[in-house]
Each structure stands twice: as C-alpha cells, then as structure tokens.
C-alpha cells in the first residue's frame, strides 16, 4: 500500500507490529474506517493486496481507498474491478479517489470507471479540494447516482493561479491544505449536495500537529 512520494512504513508480515496495532486501537477505544491507500499503477499486482485487505477487515475497516495511477484506461478500469472482487469477501467497499496529480483526475472519469467496471462494492471517494481545483464545485454532483457516494473525504485548502482548471492545477502542483473553514472550499455546499448519512472522513494538514493524540 505504498503511496508514491510519501514515507512507507511496512506492516504486513510483521506479526508483532500487527498485534500492537490491534491492541492500540482497542485500548484507545477507536474504530477503523478505511484502509489507505492502494495505488493501482501499470505494474501493480492486485493479488499482492489480499493480505492487507484481510488484516484491514480484521481491524473492522469498511472501506479501502484506491487510486488510479495508470495512463492505460482499460487496465485502470480492469484492475479496480479485480480489486473489488478481492475485497468483496472481506466486506470491504473500494472507494476510488480522483486527484489532479494522477491519471484518474476527475469526477467524470471516476464515475465512468465505476459504471464500466460493474462492481457493486465500488464507490467514489470525494475530496472536495481536489475536485474544486481540477474541475469545479458541488454543482457537478447534481444528477449523478447518489449510490456512488458512500464516502467523502472532507478537505479544505487554497486554489492556485488559474484554478479551477485541471491543466493549470497539474502545473501548480500538490494541494495547499488548510483546516476546515480556513480555505476556499465551500464545504457546506458540498455536504448539501450529498445524501444525508454518508460516511465522512477528515483530511487535514498534518506536520505541525503530528504530535497530537489521535483522539484529539
């Protein structure tokens, strides 16, 4: 589950660490929402994720975050379909997150991929900041099957020069994140456009707050 460009902390195969993770979650009184993240690139062997999915299900996770990082559309569609098939026995839903820095970059692409993949345990992971920078605001959600939105990742941040525009956003580079309410994302309007009761996660800027306990 390596995220390109980010630190990698292997877990699978380290029995002591896996036990420690389970114990820590229990002692803290926390629950696990999602497994983050499964990058599907051109050379990815989807079957290699099976043990991670099994462990995630053991922790009680409901969702597995999937990123489409493959310029070949047919392979980028077929690999998530295989991933969904593998996740299904564990009761996991694959949520596909589109992002301006990857080939799977827009809401339209992501909904098309899910329709073509034809898997009942596939859904969209909506990141409002990524969507706003690359394609537009909550008005783009109108008319899309609400069953595709089981999960949203609430984010806030700033627009770069010339945004919203996908080509400019890619030139401008990674997201400039802010705490909710401190950026330009109309979070309330995004939430109003989604169905009531869907699962929400929160993605915030982290380095200066990394020493805070998880419950805080």
The H or E element containing residue 94 is strand 93-97
Q: What is the pLDDT of residue 142?
A: 92
The reported pTM is 0.89
pLDDT above 70: residue 214: no
Summarised one tens digit per residue, pLDDT across range 148-186 is 999 899 999 999 999 989 999 999 888 899 999 999 999
pLDDT above 70: residue 209: no
**Helices 50-59 and 73-87, interaxial angle, to 10°?**
50
Q: What is the pLDDT of residue 9?
A: 82
> Phi, psi (5° rounding) for residue 176?
-100, 95
Summarised one tens digit per residue, pLDDT across range 16-37 is 999 999 999 999 999 999 998 8
Write out the two tokens for 51: 């043990």
Catalogue all structural domains in the chain, each as residue range(s) with its CATH number.
32-209 (3.20.20.150)
Q: What is the CA radius of gyration of the chain?
A: 17
87 near 51, Cβ under 8 Å? no
78 near 46, Cβ under 8 Å? no
């Amino acid at each position: 589950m390596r995220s390109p460009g980010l630190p990698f902390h292997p877990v699978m195969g380290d029995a002591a660490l896996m036990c420690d993770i389970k114990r820590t979650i229990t002692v803290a009184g926390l629950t696990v929402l999602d497994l983050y993240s499964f990058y599907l690139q051109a050379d990815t062997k989807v079957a290699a994720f099976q043990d991670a999915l099994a462990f995630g299900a053991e922790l009680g996770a409901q969702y597995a975050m999937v990123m489409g990082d493959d310029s070949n559309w047919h392979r980028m569609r077929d690999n998530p379909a295989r991933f969904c098939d593998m996740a299904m026995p564990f009761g996991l839903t694959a949520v596909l997150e589109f992002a301006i820095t990857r080939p799977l970059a827009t809401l339209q692409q992501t909904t098309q991929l899910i329709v073509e993949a034809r898997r009942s345990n596939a859904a969209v992971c909506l990141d409002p900041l990524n969507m706003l920078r690359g394609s537009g605001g909550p008005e783009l959600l109108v008319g899309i099957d609400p069953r595709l939105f089981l999960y949203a990742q609430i984010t806030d941040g700033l627009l770069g020069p010339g945004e919203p525009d996908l080509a400019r956003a890619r030139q401008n580079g990674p997201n400039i994140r802010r705490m909710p309410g401190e950026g330009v994302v109309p979070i309330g309007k995004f939430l109003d456009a989604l169905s009531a009761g869907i699962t929400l996660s929160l993605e915030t800027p982290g380095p200066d707050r990394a020493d805070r306990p998880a419950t805080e």
